[in-house]
């Protein structure tokens, strides 16, 4: 719902009043003539906000293990122009029984902006049709969809299990469900489905069997269970598949991430199956294709809190470097979080990063306002990288918040102390964020401004789009003591509709109020009765919704927001006084005058238009 900006000062403007040291004449040409700018603060008490400018992670949509793709209109004239998101879920297929469908699996949503989703799966919100003769009747988890540019079709990969005693050659008959986990491959002409499961046929029984089977493909002694498939097309068009080894009755010590080259969308090159990460170790290796326990080497203990689990991998490539991201810890834990390892080829060797060098990529438990932020995928569009992930419904325990909801946040590429370019998320966020320009049409004009500080250092960090949630980015801040004025200037006037000033990540350096914001006007605003030199906002408060003074708990990654009718400006001055801090005293009992700012976002359009 678009928020309508109320005109509280309509009477003042109509009366032609102005403010300034020298007053103003009938034409508004007096020195430093000022007019107070009517503005909204981005989000109402009822949670409504301007969806043309902003987005916010809320408790919808529900779902776990999400993945996301963007389909352009050029790729698909019928279904293009949307983000599509897939998450785990199943339902009875009674209404489809006459079509021999036994299970509906994988929920499918679509969105124009990644924040407001509509259920769109072709079968009551689900998009995978599992036939009563298909092998994948149980535990449909971790879906991931990719569009194959060669045939224009969509392929949905997910993990699933056969029923006990399925009775086909090479398929486990174990009574233990986790011994019977395989990767399923399904295909559709539409991103909304229905996806039909592809299969091989057992010569002896005629039963449908998985197209991907590591016990038969790699000749392992026992069934080799896997989950969480993630396809990846390299720049040369080669398809790779990433997944994680799930614990089973025989291979509990191999709980880590593996990868392999694919011969086609359904057929692996088993000779390339490679161990990429193992929980608790910096790096792991094996002879490709050899994946028994004794074949995998674990090198150099990794001192982190991974608690024996690396799962839900995803591959991202940037400037020739490969980043394997994965979920660490169990899905029921508060610190279920996203980590990264870096390699120079799609199958490694991959080396995990230390906390100082860039891990975790995403972890809500460090700030204790969002928990269970892990199973995920990455999406890059128009120069911006995003992460979609699920989070638990409670910060107390998984049992109290069984429902999981889907969130999205920006991911920054930053340089660590070792000179490596690494991934770091602007989240998890629970506050208003600016939409990508490709969605809203509004540019972040702060990135084109010249910035000067009256005091302090780090002006360059105000427009780097990095919110410093983690150790690797903790110094990506503007820092000052006492009063500070930030001046932003443009060589050519710009049209501005919103200003977002992001607070410190540390509450002891956070502001409670911005005393003065001045916009140097370059034309008469449409709502003004005459010309003014400056439009002014006084005492812009940091929203109470992000700060609890009683508990001193703080939702980080949040901004004070001013939204207003478009004005043409050439300069913005932002002044924050020493006495305007969320915490009056620091931990030593001294007056708190330190200030850090994470980011400034100016939403608008270039040119006079």
Structural domain contains residue 473: yes
Q: What is the pLDDT of residues 500-514, one digit of tens each?
A: 999 999 999 999 999
Q: Which helix (H) or strand (E) holds 215?
A: helix 214-217
Q: How far is CA 3 from CA 54, 93, 112, in A?
A: 11, 41, 18
Q: What is the pLDDT of residues 411-422, one digit of tens each?
A: 999 999 999 999
Pair 499, 408 in one domain: no
* pLDDT confidence bin for 400, thresholds 50/70/90: low
Q: What is the pLDDT of residues 20-42, one digit of tens each?
A: 332 333 334 445 799 999 999 99
Structural domain contains residue 3: no
Distance CA 337, CA 327 (A): 5
DSSP state of 438: H
pLDDT-wise least confident of 104-113, 155-164, 218-227, 299-308: 299-308
Structural domain contains residue 363: yes
Q: What is the mean pLDDT of the chain?
A: 91
Pair 357, 486 in one domain: no
Residue with tokens 């045939």: 151
* Beta strand residue intervals within 461-558, DSSP E: 478-481, 484-502, 513-521, 534-541, 547-548, 553-554
Pair 510, 455 in one domain: yes
Number of domains comprising the chain: 2
pLDDT-wise least confident of 24-28, 221-225, 373-377, 581-585: 24-28
Say if residue 204's pLDDT is above 90. yes
Distance CA 141, CA 590 (A): 53
Check if the beta carbon of residue 384 is closer than 8 Å to that of residue 436. Answer: yes
CB-based contacts of 394, cutoff 8 Å, min separation 6: 371, 400, 401
Q: What is the pLDDT of residues 230-246, one digit of tens each?
A: 999 999 999 999 999 99
- Tokens (6 digits) for 581: 């801090």
Check if the beta carbon of residue 17 is closer than 8 Å to that of residue 539. Answer: no
CB-based contacts of 77, cutoff 8 Å, min separation 6: none
Distance CA 492, CA 552 (A): 43
Say if residue 549's pLDDT is above 80. no
Q: How far is CA 421 from CA 323, 353, 416, 557, in A?
A: 10, 11, 6, 22
Structural domain contains residue 320: yes
Residue with tokens 């990794």: 302
The proportion of the chain whose per-residue pLDDT surpasses 70, expressed as a percent, equals: 93
Pair 249, 171 in one domain: yes
Q: Residue 220 is part of a domain; what is its CATH number?
A: 2.115.10.20
Backbone angles phi, psi at 15, to 5 degrees: -75, -10
Backbone angles phi, psi at 135, to 5 degrees: -75, -25
Check if the beta carbon of residue 409 is closer than 8 Å to that of residue 427. Answer: yes
Instruction: Kindly provide the b/e burial profile for residues 75-111, where b requires at least 16 CB atoms within 10 angstroms of the residue's own CB.
Output: ebeebeebbbbbbbbbeebeebeeeebbbbbbbbbbb
- Tokens (6 digits) for 577: 């006084």
Pair 355, 460 in one domain: no
Domain containing 448 equals 10-52+439-606
What per-residue confidence (pLDDT) applies to 606?
Answer: 84
Pair 374, 489 in one domain: no
Q: How many CB atoms lie within 10 A of CB 361?
A: 29
Check if the beta carbon of residue 142 is closer than 8 Å to that of residue 65. Answer: yes
* pLDDT confidence bin for 609, thresholds 50/70/90: low
Say if residue 11's pLDDT is above 70. no
Distance CA 550, CA 85 (A): 38
Pair 219, 258 in one domain: yes
Structural domain contains residue 289: yes
Q: Residue 553 is part of a domain; what is its CATH number?
A: 2.60.120.260
What per-residue confidence (pLDDT) applies to 298?
Answer: 94
* pLDDT confidence bin for 46, thresholds 50/70/90: confident
Say if residue 3's pLDDT is above 80. no
- Tokens (6 digits) for 24: 């103003």
Distance CA 557, CA 305 (A): 24
Between 98 and 596, whose confidence is greater? Answer: 596
Pair 342, 490 in one domain: no
Q: What is the pLDDT of residues 302-361, one digit of tens each?
A: 977 788 899 999 999 999 999 999 999 888 888 899 999 999 999 989 999 999 999 999
Pair 330, 385 in one domain: yes
What per-residue confidence (pLDDT) applies to 402?
Answer: 63
Pair 81, 167 in one domain: yes
Residue with tokens 């469908």: 101
Query: Average pLDDT for residues 8-29, to the nearest whole number?
Result: 36
Structural domain contains residue 1: no
No. of helices (H) and no. of strands (E), the chain = 3, 39
What per-residue confidence (pLDDT) applies to 16?
Answer: 36
Pair 18, 61 in one domain: no
pLDDT-wise least confident of 41-45, 105-109, 151-155: 41-45
Distance CA 425, CA 555 (A): 15
Say if residue 13's pLDDT is above 50. no
* pLDDT confidence bin for 589, thresholds 50/70/90: confident
- Residue 327's nearest CA partner among 66, 505, 83 is 66
- Tokens (6 digits) for 360: 């975790």
Check if the beta carbon of residue 209 is closer than 8 Å to that of residue 200. Answer: yes
Structural domain contains residue 39: yes
Residue with tokens 């298909």: 134
Q: What is the pLDDT of residues 73-92, one digit of tens each?
A: 999 999 999 999 999 988 88
- Residue 82's nearest CA partner among 231, 192, 171, 156 is 192
Tell me the pairing of strands 138-147 and 200-201. unpaired
Chosen domain end from 387, 408, 430? 430
In a 13 Å sphere around the CA of 444, the CA atoms on its Cβ side amount to 20
- Residue 19's nearest CA partner among 41, 36, 43 is 36
- Tokens (6 digits) for 38: 């009517």
Say if residue 522's pLDDT is above 50. yes
Chosen domain end from 430, 459, 485? 430
Structural domain contains residue 5: no
- Tokens (6 digits) for 572: 């913005």
What per-residue confidence (pLDDT) applies to 8?
Answer: 35
Pair 269, 391 in one domain: yes
CB-based contacts of 218, cutoff 8 Å, min separation 6: 224, 270, 273, 289, 290, 291
Between 337 and 93, whose confidence is greater? Answer: 337
Chosen domain end from 430, 462, 477? 430
Check if the beta carbon of residue 420 is closer than 8 Å to that of residue 318. Answer: no
Distance CA 578, CA 405 (A): 39
């Amino acid at each position: 719902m678009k928020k309508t900006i109320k005109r509280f000062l309509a009477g003042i403007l109509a009366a032609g009043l102005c403010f300034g040291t020298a007053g103003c004449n009938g034409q508004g040409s007096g020195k430093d003539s000022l007019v107070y700018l009517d503005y909204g603060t981005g989000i109402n008490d009822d949670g409504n906000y301007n969806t043309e400018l902003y987005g916010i992670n809320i408790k919808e949509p529900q779902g776990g293990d999400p993945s996301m793709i963007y389909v352009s209109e050029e790729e698909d004239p019928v279904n293009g122009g949307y983000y599509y998101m897939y998450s785990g879920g199943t339902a009875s297929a009674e209404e489809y029984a006459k079509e021999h469908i036994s299970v509906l699996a994988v929920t499918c949503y679509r969105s124009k902006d990644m924040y407001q989703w509509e259920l769109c799966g072709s079968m009551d919100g689900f998009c995978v049709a599992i036939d009563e003769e298909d092998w994948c009747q149980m535990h449909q988890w971790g879906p991931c969809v990719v569009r194959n540019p060669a045939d224009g079709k969509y392929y949905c990969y997910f993990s699933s299990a056969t029923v006990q005693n399925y009775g086909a050659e090479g398929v486990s008959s174990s009574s233990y469900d986790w011994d019977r986990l395989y990767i399923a491959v399904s295909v559709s002409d539409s991103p909304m489905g229905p996806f039909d499961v592809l299969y091989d046929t057992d010569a002896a029984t005629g039963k449908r069997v998985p197209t991907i089977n590591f016990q038969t493909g790699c000749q392992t002694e026992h069934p080799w269970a896997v989950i969480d498939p993630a396809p990846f097309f390299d720049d040369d068009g080669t398809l790779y598949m990433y997944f994680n080894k799930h614990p089973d009755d025989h291979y509990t010590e191999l709980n880590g991430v593996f990868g392999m080259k694919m011969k086609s969308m359904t057929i692996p090159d088993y000779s390339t199956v490679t161990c990429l990460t193992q929980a608790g170790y910096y790096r792991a290796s094996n002879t490709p294709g050899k994946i028994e326990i004794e074949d995998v080497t674990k090198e150099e203990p990794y001192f982190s809190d991974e608690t024996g689990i690396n799962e839900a991998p995803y591959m991202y490539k940037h400037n020739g470097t490969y980043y394997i991201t994965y979920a660490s810890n169990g899905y029921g834990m508060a610190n279920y979080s996203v980590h990264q390892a870096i390699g120079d080829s799609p199958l490694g060797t991959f080396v995990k990063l230390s906390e100082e060098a860039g891990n975790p990529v995403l972890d809500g438990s460090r700030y204790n306002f969002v928990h269970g932020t892990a199973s995920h995928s990455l999406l890059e569009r128009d120069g911006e990288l995003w992460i979609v992930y699920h989070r638990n419904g409670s910060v107390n325990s998984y049992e109290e918040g069984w429902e999981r909801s889907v969130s999205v946040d920006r991911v920054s590429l930053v340089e660590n102390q070792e000179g490596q370019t690494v991934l770091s998320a602007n989240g998890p966020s629970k506050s208003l964020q600016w939409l990508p320009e490709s969605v809203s049409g509004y540019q972040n004009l702060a990135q084109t401004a010249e910035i000067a500080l009256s005091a302090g250092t780090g002006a360059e960090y105000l427009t780097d789009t990095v919110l410093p949630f983690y150790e690797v980015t903790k110094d990506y801040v503007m820092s000052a003591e006492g009063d500070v004025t930030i001046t932003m200037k443009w060589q050519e006037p710009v049209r501005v509709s919103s200003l977002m000033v992001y607070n410190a990540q540390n509450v002891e350096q956070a502001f409670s109020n911005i005393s003065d914001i001045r916009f140097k006007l370059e034309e008469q605003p449409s709502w003004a009765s005459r010309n003014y030199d400056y439009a002014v906002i006084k005492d812009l408060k940091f929203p109470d919704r992000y700060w609890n003074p009683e508990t001193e708990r703080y939702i980080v990654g949040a901004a004070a927001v001013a939204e207003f009718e478009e004005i043409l400006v050439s300069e913005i001055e932002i002044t924050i006084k020493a006495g305007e801090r969320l915490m009056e005293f620091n931990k030593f009992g001294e007056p708190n005058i330190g200030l850090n700012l994470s980011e400034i976002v100016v939403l608008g359009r270039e040119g006079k238009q």
